[in-house]
Amino acid sequence: MNLRAFLFGIIITLAAPAARAEVLIFAAASLKEPLDTIAARFDGVVVSYSGSGTVARQVSLGAPADIVLLANTNWMDVLVEGRHVAGYSVVDFASNRLVLIGQIGAEPITLQIAPLLDALGEGRIAVGLTEAVPAGIYAKAGLQSLGLWDVTKDRLAEVDSVRSALALVARGQTPLGIVYRTDTRISDAVVKLAEFPLASHPPIRYQGALIDPENDEASSILAFLTSEEGQAAFASFGFLPPLYVAQ
């Protein structure tokens, strides 16, 4: 092969568009286990996971998603208002509970100042970013509602997703963490110490939406999430049915 032919081949390779999945889903990190199971039922589906705030920003900047699945309605509202998703396609498909976790072997506690600070010791509470990550947003609301925010706000280890918070506790880097109840099922190194009362924070609502409602494959997958079979898949990983909260 001469040099000219070699260089031409490189140019063609670089110019060729990268192969793209038939359906690309951008989803909240806490959905990984059930969504991996659901995605495996369909051909050509790829899922990208991150914190809901990160997902929303990526989509708002033009990331090539077909379906967006978030753990917070405020971030979905941002995408709807910016016309980054089809507003009429938004659907609730699951809910969850917020829990305080510790390392395996730790004893349950009550969500009050003295027991919490005793369990915390000199350490920090691992939590999603309290201004961006849904689990962190819910955690801040819960701590405020229970009168615990002032004694904990300077003792937080804020990270980019709820799974990162889980990992800090599982690795023993923080004694406590605030995550979703479903997250405790994927690690043998953590245990639930307390469950936040439902009334202490906004309802944890998982919502999905389409970028292009005329994408039939994406529409079918989003519809599957709320079907009987899809709901059974979420329930098998500890997720609760969707909360249809009056607006």
Q: Are 173 and 124 in contact (CB under 8 A)?
A: no
Same domain for 16 and 103? no
Same domain for 28 and 117? no
Q: Output the six-digit token pair for 39.
A: 């995605």
33: domain CATH number? 3.40.190.10
Number of domains in the chain: 2
Whether 14 maps to a domain, the answer reads yes
Same domain for 86 and 149? no
Q: Are 162 and 135 in contact (CB under 8 A)?
A: yes
The model's pLDDT over 86-139, given as tens digits with 9 standing for 90+, comes to 999 999 999 999 999 999 999 999 999 999 999 999 999 999 999 989 999 999
Q: Are 119 and 128 in contact (CB under 8 A)?
A: no
Nearest-CA neighbor of 91 among 235, 243, 215, 237?
243
Same domain for 65 and 155? no
Q: How many CA atoms lie within 13 A of 132 on its CB side?
A: 12
Same domain for 130 and 153? yes
Whether 175 maps to a domain, the answer reads yes
Same domain for 87 and 16? yes
The model's pLDDT over 208-239, given as tens digits with 9 standing for 90+, comes to 999 999 999 999 999 999 999 999 999 999 99
Same domain for 90 and 153? no
* pTM of structure: 0.83
Q: Which domain holds residue 152?
A: 98-200
Nearest-CA neighbor of 178 among 208, 218, 118, 138?
138
